[in-house]
Chain A
Amino acid sequence: MTCEELRALLDTEGEASSPAARAHLEGCRACSREVERWRLAQAALRELGREPAPPFLHARIMAHVRAEAPGSRPAAWLRGWRAPALAAVGAAVVILGLGLYRAVTPPPVTPVAEVADSREKAAAPEPASGFDKGAAGPPAPAAVVADRVATAARRQEAADGTPPAAEEKHVLAAAAAVPTAGIAAAAGEPARDELGAAAPAATEAMAPRASADLAGPAPGVAGETRGGAPAVGTLRAAERQVAGVVRCRLQLEGGGDVVEVDLPAEGAPLPEEVWSVTFSPDGRIEVLDAFGRTRQAPALLQQGLSQTQRQQLRLGRYRLSQAPVPATPAP
């Protein structure tokens, strides 16, 4: 075997282990050196193939795939400026209608029972939930808010016969003290009116099934959660997507658990991105967008989570609240 033949064998087979090759190598220093170099190069090549993919890659791929999924995008005629414009027109019609209704109908006679009921309501101030409710009412304390959630859960239980599993009811209650109103609208969050308060009736009805669209932009609604008023929502499997809310996957360092919570969108309309939020036991929080760029962590996450709450997150309970949420006895 000549040197050229040995090099050719090395190139086609990737090794020179045949008897003829070994015989040649015993007498040829140059070829032995070349074989040794190739062996080193091959090991380094295999090493190149082990470069880890970034942790956000999966979320990024799936976000784009979901955006592609049928039904995940609004109809063409609703895209762009049309959807907000339609919403504004609708709101104007409703306001005018209510005004006309009030102008035309005489004030109703209030039965005694309802008066008593309204006194109770006055004792526990209720956030405005519609255009005809106390527009300037003070924000409800977190306890009341939590109580309302429990009541809603009980009503739901009565309605569909399923008990509200404690582990599945993940109460997110952001108290009025939180200046930037962090986790307000969790998934399935009641539609919030312009006064920034949660509507209990909507809380009951919260169960729109999971939308496949996680990454769809939510134009124009971000920032409505910043009113400083209390808001409440129930976070279940974090499967739902409502306007102004982005689903976050919380990857806990060390334990390897992935939990997901929905957070209000910050600032501008959501881009087609998913954030990955990394909690570390020392309290460091890192938020990456789907493209791996660091983003500012939502204010509530920065300020609001206590060590205990992080621990609860770690345990998978996802129970986040700014104020203690008292257990409400069943009626």
Chain B
Amino acid sequence: MSAELTYPGPMPWWVSSRAATLEGEVSLARLRARDEAAFEELVGRHEREIFQLARRLLGDREEALDATQEVFLRVYRGLPRFRADASLRTWIWGIALNVCRSRLASAARRLQQRLAPLETVDAEGEESPLPLPDPAPGPEQAAYGAELRDALELALASLTPEHREAVVLRDVQGLEYEEMAAVLGCPLGTVKSRLGRARAALRQALEGVWR
């Protein structure tokens, strides 16, 4: 099962084979033709990063596994409609963000229904929190290494979904600003300002860790 590249014609000599492998996506024609091998290759290329994205956005491993599976099912269903005006990767990441958002929303709704009488629930669900552990780290958690990691997970969970997306895309997944703008569907300036606010919120959430 070799990678079939979307580059029209033979690769130019200055494109190394490694770069071609990294950049080249599985052939769209094969994917649209429901070529199972091609789709499996696509899954193999993206499943890890999509899982990691979902894991950080959702804060729960099982939920992330379900989400990853849902993402690729949606990709499979949506391939015939994919217009290739964005890269395949950007499109997949966009789907992943949507899947995670809707899962967060329904999780928040479930939590609210469980915790609060209906009349007190804010219908807007203003940046509703995740059903995750108490984000305030105890004094014993203030340490480095693994404990810093735990504290970070909690701090991430305490962010609003919008801020969490920004931090995860940039500081966890390492996307460039342009990629973030494409995935999030907003201008570069918005991405930068949102990221700035998100990092400020994260630093604030981590305040207790360093004491």
Query: Which residues of A, 41-88, contact B by the 8 Å Cβ criterion?
Result: 41-42, 44-54, 57-58, 60-62, 64-66, 68-70
Query: Which residues of B, 112-170, contact A by the 8 Å Cβ criterion?
Result: 144, 148-149, 152-153, 156, 167, 170
User: Can you name the residue of chain A whose Cβ is closest to the Cβ of B170?
Assistant: A14
Q: With A11-B196, A37-B210, A49-B173 given, is the CB distance from A57 to B68 under 8 Å?
A: yes
B72 & A61 in contact (Cβ 8 Å cutoff) = yes
B69 & A60 in contact (Cβ 8 Å cutoff) = yes
Question: Cα distance A51–B48 when bound, in Å?
Answer: 9
B171 & A46 in contact (Cβ 8 Å cutoff) = yes
User: Can you name the residue of chain A whose Cβ is closest to the Cβ of B56?
Assistant: A48
A64 & B69 in contact (Cβ 8 Å cutoff) = yes
Of the stretches B17-25, B81-89, B96-104, B197-205, the one at the interface is B197-205
* A297 CB contacts on chain B under 8 angstroms: none
Question: Does residue A12 face the partner (Cβ distance < 8 Å to B)?
Answer: yes
Q: Which of B72, B167, B197 lies in contact with A65, CB distance below 8 A?
A: B72
User: Can you name the residue of chain A whose Cβ is closest to the Cβ of B152?
Assistant: A44
B33 CB → nearest A CB, Å: 12
User: Can you name the residue of chain A whose Cβ is closest to the Cβ of B44?
Assistant: A58
A168 CB → nearest B CB, Å: 19
Question: Cα distance A199–B153 when bound, in Å?
Answer: 59
User: Can you name the residue of chain B whose Cβ is closest to the Cβ of A50?
Assistant: B52
Question: Does residue B63 face the partner (Cβ distance < 8 Å to A)?
Answer: no
Question: Cα distance A66–B68 when bound, in Å?
Answer: 15
B152 & A66 in contact (Cβ 8 Å cutoff) = no
Q: Which of A11, A34, A41, A65 lies in contact with B76, CB distance below 8 A?
A: A65
Query: Which residues of A, 14-57, contact B by the 8 Å Cβ criterion?
Result: 14, 34, 37-38, 40-42, 44-54, 57
The interface size of chain B toward A, counting residues with CB under 8 Å, comes to 42
Q: With A41-B148, A48-B56 given, is the CB distance from A69 to B73 under 8 Å?
A: no
User: Can you name the residue of chain A whose Cβ is closest to the Cβ of B171?
Assistant: A45
B47 & A53 in contact (Cβ 8 Å cutoff) = yes
B66 CB → nearest A CB, Å: 9
- Interface SS, A side: helix
User: Can you name the residue of chain A whose Cβ is closest to the Cβ of B195?
Assistant: A12
Query: Which residues of B, 53-88, contact A by the 8 Å Cβ criterion?
Result: 55-56, 65, 68-69, 72-73, 76-77
B55 & A51 in contact (Cβ 8 Å cutoff) = yes
A12 & B202 in contact (Cβ 8 Å cutoff) = no
Q: With A44-B152, A47-B149, A51-B52 given, is the CB distance from A14 to B40 under 8 Å?
A: no
Question: Cα distance A64–B34 when bound, in Å?
Answer: 14
Q: Which of B52, B192, B195 lies in contact with A49, CB distance below 8 A?
A: B52
Proximity string of chain B (177-200) to chain A, C-beta cutoff 8 Å, 1 when within and 0 when not: 000000000000000110111011
Question: Does residue B93 face the partner (Cβ distance < 8 Å to A)?
Answer: no
A141 CB → nearest B CB, Å: 40
B149 & A11 in contact (Cβ 8 Å cutoff) = no
A11 & B68 in contact (Cβ 8 Å cutoff) = no
Question: Cα distance A62–B192 when bound, in Å?
Answer: 37
Question: Cα distance A70–B35 when bound, in Å?
Answer: 11
Question: Cα distance A53–B67 when bound, in Å?
Answer: 13
Question: Does residue B206 face the partner (Cβ distance < 8 Å to A)?
Answer: yes
* A10 CB contacts on chain B under 8 angstroms: 199, 203
B172 & A37 in contact (Cβ 8 Å cutoff) = no
Question: Cα distance A68–B43 when bound, in Å?
Answer: 15
* B72 CB contacts on chain A under 8 angstroms: 61, 64-65
Q: With A49-B56, A60-B69, A65-B73 given, is the CB distance from A41 to B202 under 8 Å?
A: yes
A46 & B174 in contact (Cβ 8 Å cutoff) = yes
B65 & A41 in contact (Cβ 8 Å cutoff) = no
Q: With A60-B65, A64-B73 given, is the CB distance from A69 to B34 under 8 Å?
A: yes
A238 CB → nearest B CB, Å: 15
A40 & B144 in contact (Cβ 8 Å cutoff) = yes
Question: Cα distance A159–B32 when bound, in Å?
Answer: 37
B172 CB → nearest A CB, Å: 4
Q: With A42-B171, A49-B56 given, is the CB distance from A68 to B76 under 8 Å?
A: yes
Question: Cα distance A53–B49 when bound, in Å?
Answer: 9
Query: Which residues of A, 173-210, contact B by the 8 Å Cβ criterion?
Result: none
Please provide the 9 A-B residue pairs with the shortest distance between their CB atoms, ordered closest to farther.
Answer: A12-B196, A11-B199, A49-B172, A53-B51, A11-B196, A45-B171, A11-B200, A61-B72, A53-B48
Q: Other than A41-B202, A58-B47, A69-B36, give 18 A-B pairs with Cβ distance below 8 A.
A: A11-B195, A42-B171, A48-B152, A48-B153, A49-B52, A51-B52, A53-B51, A53-B52, A53-B68, A57-B65, A58-B44, A60-B65, A61-B43, A64-B69, A64-B73, A68-B76, A68-B77, A292-B65
